[in-house]
Amino acid sequence: MANYTELKGKVAVITGAGRHKGLGEAMAKRLASEGCKVVITDIGHAAGEHMPESAIGSSDEMQQIVAEIKADGGEATSFACNVLNADEVKAAAQFAVDTYGSLDIWVNNAGVGYLMKPILDMDVSEWDTVLNVNLRGTFLGIKFAAEQMVKQGNGGKIINIGSQASKSAFAHASAYTTSKHGMNGITRVAAQELGEHKINVNQICPNHVTTGLGAWQNSHFSEVTGKGHDKYMQDMRDRIPLGRPGLQDDIAKACAFLCSEQASYITGECMNVSGGEEYH
């Protein structure tokens, strides 16, 4: 399925990629199909009150995804990494270099999208968890990936995974919306600062995708809005010009494109992949 032959042999790290049905898994598998050597990272274990086992990719699940990539002829390995920990993020970058010889692509996909509450009901610790994972984690990924790419001197690609919430506000999602708006800023600043090193920094902004997390969001907001699941999903389809929510593969395709030389003159963009629902 390779469309971008120049990606063959490139080394890519994808954070938050250790869960089946997730965007990270889809992007990892797509980049592997393009010939990239892929490092899948996720926390690997529960990491406190707001990051239970149900919300993270386990070590076993990461290994399963690696095995699936290898079974399809790709090259992949895994590395446990909590994106809140600077030492672990730096170690993930070094692991890619030690394992495959370089670091060419870094995808900041790890994020928290399941602490959805009105401002009046949201605990400060919940707010901090969302902002820290979604923004601190992205900052650390950019910083340590760019350090290695600058050292190599061959440029590179950094992709941040934003959201429709990067562009529009959503009630009951104050921390999430704030974090994803903030991601726009760091994407654009990083693009300005790193352009001289031939490092492209871009962001993908999906609308709703029914990943494992997305299924929880469907259930949650169906209840919050009082619409029920079927009505909530039909209303979603009705407001999307192309008539359906996003698919994991839609985001994986966009990621592969932005990593390719076809996108060599694109940087600082926060690209909507939303079926026409989001146009800002």
Q: What is the mean pLDDT of the chain?
A: 93
Please indicate whether residue 180 is annotated as part of the active site: yes
Query: Degrees (nearest 5) of the Cα angle 269, 115, 112?
Result: 40
CA dihedral 205, 41, 56, 111 (to 10 degrees): -30
pLDDT band at 280 (very low <50, low <70, confident <90, very high): confident
Mean pLDDT of 20-24: 94
176, 232, 265, 279: the catalytic one is: 176
- Pairing mode, strands 75-80 and 105-108: unpaired
Distance of alpha carbon 146 from alpha carbon 89, whole angstroms: 12
Summarize pLDDT for 81-92 with one digit per residue, the tens. 999 999 999 999
Residue 21 bears catalytic tag: no
Pairwise CA distance, residues 83 & 51, whole Å: 12
Asked if residues 159 and 258 have their Cβ atoms less than 8 Å apart, the reply is: yes
Could you give the CA distance from residue 209 to residue 256 in angstroms, rounded to a whole number?
A: 18
**How many angstroms separate the Cα of 254 from the Cα of each of 149, 160, 199, 249, 257?**
22, 12, 18, 9, 5
Rounded to the nearest 5 percent, the helix, strand and coil shares of the chain are 50, 15, 35
Q: By CB neighbour count within 10 A (0-12 exposed, 13-18 middle, 19+ buried), where does 75 fall?
A: middle
Which pLDDT score, from 0 to 100, does residue 166 have? 97
Q: Please compute the mean of the pLDDT values over residues 253-268 and round it to a whole number.
A: 98
- At the topology level, CATH places domain 5-209+248-266 in Rossmann fold (3.40.50)
Confidence of residue 111 (pLDDT cuts 50, 70, 90): very high
pLDDT of 40 > 70? The answer is yes
On the question of pLDDT at 212 being above 80, the answer is: no
Q: pTM of the entire structure?
A: 0.93
Per-residue pLDDT at 58: 84
Ranges for all domains in the chain classified under CATH 3.40.50.720: 5-209+248-266
As a whole-number percent, the residues of the chain with pLDDT over 70 amount to 95
